[in-house]
Amino acid sequence: MLVVREVSARAFRLPLHRSWDGGVDRNDVVVVRVATDGGLVGTGLSWTPLIGARAVEALVNDDIAPALVGREAHPARWEELHWHLREAGTSGLTLMALAGVDIALWDLRARAAGVSLVEAVGRRRESVPSYGSGVNLDYCLDDLVEQVRGWVAAGHTAVKIKVGSADLARDVERVGAVREVIGPDGVLMVDANQRWDVPAAARALSALEGFGLHFIEEPLPAQDLEAHVRLRGRTSVPFAIGENLRTVGEFERAVELGVCDVAQPNVVRVGGITPFVRIAESVARRGVPVAPHLLPELSGQLALCLPSVVMVEDIDHASLAALGALAEPSGVEFHRGRVRADTGPGHGLVFADTLAPVASASP
């Protein structure tokens, strides 16, 4: 039995190569390490584009570590740690902190068994389709077309772009141009990032559905599932939601209301691998597949284990490797529109020791 000797977390800043819509110029990552009495160390991570990295770091170091040291190092600790954190809330930052520890415990479990994370979770397939994705609503049309052509040249037959412009005609022009690039057989998805209300979404989808949309992602504010129900009656375009849902219950309610055709849990935001797998299994029982949200090096591995999966997001210039976070190749490979994983023991994510820490705010 492996017993936890030490738990530590540290937040690092990863500047983006090009800012995302809304002025997002960085991703922050919190690297969590769980060391055992036998000398084995597991590595986990939490992640956030802008907000909360140092709060996650503090939750791990100040509140999770004392509750875990001296206990068996096993992902079965998830429920008791979630209960332990309840006074700080049961969602949001507490789940993000718990995710870093849970991922580290899964890494430890796989390393102790001498197998990859994929084998430890339970491999179901050798590869999964992937799609080219970008945060590109602020791109001019020429830059957007160039980006999509790059995805096609890399072998992607499925792409996703942002919509939600103030002028609907701009979205129509851009979606039409992307459809021309990928051809009539290419899979085209769009993401509104919660920018619309029901009337605006209905108008936009009426104008865009002729381009053969595979799905619309987050057309409305994520928590307002009743609004999604009203929109469902006004469009035939499938809905993909979930990056801003957190719990099994939230996903189940979305599916039961008929507004989640593709589930998109983010492994960090839901609290780690343990609840991520539970969500995937739950929605699969209800006939809904998963398309994991971001974090391609980890999402790509988990997708190989899920009962029902559509595609994995290959985010343009924003993977951990592309942002310089990793000291060596992870063993997760995106190639010609598919993702495979050969990581060796554990998840294969070795973080560079030269990353810049997240500094405290100026007084």
Q: Single out the residue of 236, 231, 232, 179 nearest to residue 209, CA to CA.
A: 236
Asked about 214 being catalytic, the answer comes back as no
CB-based contacts of 134: which residues, under 8 Å, 6+ apart?
147, 160, 161, 162, 315, 316
- Collect contacts of 82-90 with beta carbons under 8 A, ≥24 apart: 82/271, 85/59, 88/59, 88/63
The CATH number covering residue 124 comes to 3.20.20.120
- List residues bridging with 334 in a β-sheet: 339
* pLDDT (tens digit per residue) in 64-110: 999 999 999 999 999 999 999 999 999 999 999 999 999 999 999 99
Q: Are residues 275 and 134 in the same domain?
A: yes
Q: Are residues 85 and 60 in the same domain?
A: yes
Q: Single out the residue of 239, 141, 139, 130 nearest to residue 181, CA to CA.
A: 141
Q: Are residues 158 and 17 in the same domain?
A: no
- Tell me if 103 is assigned to some domain: yes
- List residues bridging with 190 in a β-sheet: 161, 216
* pLDDT (tens digit per residue) in 111-161: 999 999 999 999 999 999 999 999 999 999 999 999 999 999 999 999 999
Separation between Cα atoms, residue 58 and residue 73, nearest integer Å:
20
Separation between Cα atoms, residue 175 and residue 268, nearest integer Å:
30
Q: Is the pLDDT of residue 362 over 60?
A: no
Q: Are residues 55 and 109 in the same domain?
A: yes
Grade residue 1 by pLDDT with cuts at 50, 70 and 90.
confident
Asked about 82 being catalytic, the answer comes back as no
Domain of 197 in residue numbering reads as 120-341
State pTM to two decimals.
Answer: 0.97
Looking at 82, 228, 293, 347, which residue is catalytic?
A: 293
The CATH number covering residue 33 comes to 3.30.390.10
Looking at 82, 156, 162, 214, which residue is catalytic?
A: 162
Q: Single out the residue of 344, 277, 301, 295 nearest to residue 78, CA to CA.
A: 277
